[in-house]
A and B are shown apart, each in its own frame.
Chain A
Amino acid sequence: MNWTSFDTWIVVVGALCAVACALPGCFLVLRKMSMMGDAISHAVLPGLAIAFLITGTRASVPMFFGAAIAGVLTALFTQWIARFGNVDRGAAMGIVFTTLFAIGLILIRQAADKVDLDPGCVLYGALEMTPLDTVGSTDIPRAAIVNGGALLANLAIICVLFKEFRLSAFDGALADTLGYSSQFLHYLLMTMVAVTTVAAFESVGSIIVISMLIVPPATALLLTRKLPAMLMIASLAAAGSAVIGHIGALVVPAWFGMDATTTSGMIALAAGVLFTLAWLFSPTEGIVVKRFRRGKVEIEDRVSPAI
């Protein structure tokens, strides 16, 4: 393996991206709205395309606005369709995000001549290319700044509104009666997810980002029963999967005599492996530990009547 500063930057960008996603992802998982991350990550596409068509540049600011608006609209449309169309939330989400994603794809195809946003890139990103696009004369990739910014913003919002987010995720009705609008907090979270998704978009695309939103938080939930610890473990698992993922992308294919594979895919796979390990060996929830404990209880049960 030939490790260069290039590889270091790929890992840094991947890790920033993964941690930025994991933080709002924790609240998506706790609110049992994991699929909303899926929906929003797809539905921001038309927002991006329209922002590009209007401004003609890939400058970050209009893209973020486009995406944030598209993200909030996804949440809003989902709620409307569920309420007025009398279909369940999952179906409403399916209707909204596929439609928006399709519109986005069509817009991108239409603008394809002028844009280097290609549909393949939309799906799984181009993490390996990010170190080529640096800021000014420094070595710092633009993607590191963008994802780092998203990470800091998410961290700041969650630190400031920790109590409010926890309350509305646990008991939205109580939040409302106490004067904390659960609607506002819901849409704030959706906006965070949308913006984070866009930040991550170029690097890892709209599919892999779902894994980053959901898998590390789900892993953390198997390992702790405290919310601050959950946020911390999810961040660690996210960063860890970026490191393992990139090394894996370089090393594993060589075992089979193949060239290095896509890092973003490997990051998602590494996250999946970490989840599996947590699922098997978590001290409280792990199935191995549970099996062991159940065995012990049975033995005790069998012994106790004799006593």
Chain B
Amino acid sequence: MSQLFKRLSPAGDAAGEDLSFHPEDAPLAIHDLTVAYHRKPVLWDVDLDIPDGKLVGVVGPNGAGKSTLIKACLDLIPRASGEIGIYGKPYKEQRHLVAYVPQRESVDWDFPVSALDVVAMGAYRRLGWFRRVTKQESENARECLDQVGIAHLADRQISQLSGGQQQRVFLARALMQDAELYLMDEPFAAVDAATEEAIVSLLRTLSEKGKTCLVVHHDLATVTTYFNWLVLLNMRIVASGPSETTFTRENLQKTYGGKLSLLEKAAEALRHTVE
């Protein structure tokens, strides 16, 4: 396995990096994962090892099982078979190491809470049952909002934020969890350019700190600029590896199948940007 990884690793990274890669200690190691809704498989026999410290983009067509993959990692949905290791142990023992950014539509934004309240929820794991949010954690939450550039909106009720600001609140909440592995479900969906930039710089900062981020993404034009590791998913894993070697026409074709023309355009666009 480490041999294989050495081969897949981009030459540039190899110099300073320790390449003794043990899948059992990987931030995320999935084996034989199958998930089905009403007996229809959504994920089929997924094997995936995510190396430490990568910015991982997960792409695939609608209904490819991207969100399901994340939810399965978090034990939010039952799986038909398979094992998932988070740094070598089941999720139940590693909750404190994982932060989750759900899709923005998954919650009711009319709910009577302020942005700061939502971000402070990221500290609940540390606080435990019955304990209230401390002053210190409140301060931390404010700092996390500051990191995503909306500290001035801390006391706003969340329905009075724009879509992009709401997304940033979710990211700040994940930061608040102070995790090692960040699982994000479409954070770039329907956000403004400023938010997109803020998210990208946040991802870079996390990556510099050695954190691993797995991000469901939908925009093929930006995927190789934002991420250094790619997972192509369509019910099965089509390919997983460094962006440069994985983002190939052949792989994309296998992932997206019929929607070739769209793909060609994307690949074309990419070739231009790379050149």
Q: Does B102 contact A (CB under 8 A)?
A: yes
Known: A163-B132, A178-B125. 14 other contacts (CB 8 A): A161-B130, A163-B124, A164-B129, A167-B124, A170-B111, A171-B106, A173-B74, A173-B102, A176-B74, A177-B100, A178-B95, A178-B124, A179-B125, A227-B112
Shortest beta-carbon distance from B122 to chain A in Å: 8
Q: Does B270 contact A (CB under 8 A)?
A: no
**Contact call B106/A173, Cβ cutoff below 8 A:** yes
Instruction: Using CB atoms, name the residue of chain B closest to A221.
Output: B112
Q: How large is the interface on A (under 10, 10 to 19, 20 to 34, 35 or more residues)?
A: 20 to 34
Chain B residues within 8 Å of A, Cβ to Cβ: 38, 71, 74-76, 95, 98, 100, 102, 106-108, 111-114, 117-118, 121, 124-125, 127, 129-133, 157, 159, 173
CB neighbours (8 Å) of B102 from chain A are 171, 173-174
Instruction: Using CB atoms, name the residue of chain B closest to A225.
Output: B157
CB neighbours (8 Å) of B107 from chain A are 170-171
**Contact call B130/A170, Cβ cutoff below 8 A:** no
**Contact call B38/A167, Cβ cutoff below 8 A:** no
Give the CA-CA distance A167 to B132 in the complex, in Å.
12
CB neighbours (8 Å) of B76 from chain A are 173, 176-177
Give the CA-CA distance A171 to B185 in the complex, in Å.
15
Give the CA-CA distance A163 to B124 in the complex, in Å.
8
Interface residues of A in 1-46 (CB under 8 A from B): 30, 32
Give the CA-CA distance A49 to B218 in the complex, in Å.
56
Chain A residues within 8 Å of B, Cβ to Cβ: 30, 32, 86, 160-161, 163-164, 166-167, 169-171, 173-174, 176-180, 221, 224-227, 229-230
Give the CA-CA distance A173 to B159 in the complex, in Å.
20
**Contact call B113/A177, Cβ cutoff below 8 A:** no
**Contact call A170/B129, Cβ cutoff below 8 A:** no
Instruction: Using CB atoms, name the residue of chain A closest to B173.
Output: A174
Instruction: Using CB atoms, name the residue of chain B closest to A26.
Output: B112
8 closest Cβ contacts across the A-B interface? Answer: A225-B157, A178-B125, A227-B112, A225-B112, A170-B111, A171-B107, A177-B100, A177-B74
Instruction: Using CB atoms, name the residue of chain B closest to A83.
Output: B38
State the main secondary structure of chain A at its contact with B. helix
Give the CA-CA distance A171 to B120 in the complex, in Å.
13
Shortest beta-carbon distance from B61 to chain A in Å: 24
**Contact call A169/B111, Cβ cutoff below 8 A:** yes
CB neighbours (8 Å) of A86 from chain B are 38
Residue from A161, A177, A226 within 8 A of B112 (CB atoms): A226
Shortest beta-carbon distance from B242 to chain A in Å: 29
Shortest beta-carbon distance from A279 to chain B in Å: 15
**Contact call A32/B133, Cβ cutoff below 8 A:** no
> Could you name 30 residue pairs across A and B whose Cβ atoms are closer than 8 Å?
A30-B108, A30-B111, A86-B38, A160-B130, A161-B129, A161-B130, A163-B127, A163-B131, A163-B132, A164-B129, A166-B117, A167-B121, A167-B124, A170-B107, A170-B111, A170-B118, A171-B106, A173-B74, A174-B102, A174-B173, A176-B74, A176-B76, A178-B121, A221-B112, A224-B112, A225-B112, A225-B157, A226-B157, A227-B112, A230-B112
Give the CA-CA distance A228 to B95 in the complex, in Å.
29
**Contact call B124/A180, Cβ cutoff below 8 A:** yes
**Contact call A170/B125, Cβ cutoff below 8 A:** no
**Contact call A225/B159, Cβ cutoff below 8 A:** yes
CB neighbours (8 Å) of A176 from chain B are 74-76
Give the CA-CA distance A221 to B108 in the complex, in Å.
14
Highest count of chain A CB atoms <10 Å: which of B102, B118, B121, B157: B121
Give the CA-CA distance A225 to B112 in the complex, in Å.
5
**Contact call A170/B113, Cβ cutoff below 8 A:** yes
Shortest beta-carbon distance from B172 to chain A in Å: 13
**Contact call B113/A166, Cβ cutoff below 8 A:** yes
CB neighbours (8 Å) of B131 from chain A are 163
Shortest beta-carbon distance from A148 to chain B in Å: 24
Give the CA-CA distance A227 to B110 in the complex, in Å.
11
**Contact call B112/A163, Cβ cutoff below 8 A:** no
Give the CA-CA distance A290 to B162 in the complex, in Å.
20
CB neighbours (8 Å) of B114 from chain A are 226
CB neighbours (8 Å) of A230 from chain B are 112
Instruction: Using CB atoms, name the residue of chain B closest to A229.
Output: B112
CB neighbours (8 Å) of A174 from chain B are 100, 102, 121, 173
CB neighbours (8 Å) of A160 from chain B are 130
CB neighbours (8 Å) of B159 from chain A are 225
Q: A177-B74, A179-B95 are in contact. Are A30 and B130 (CB under 8 A)?
A: no
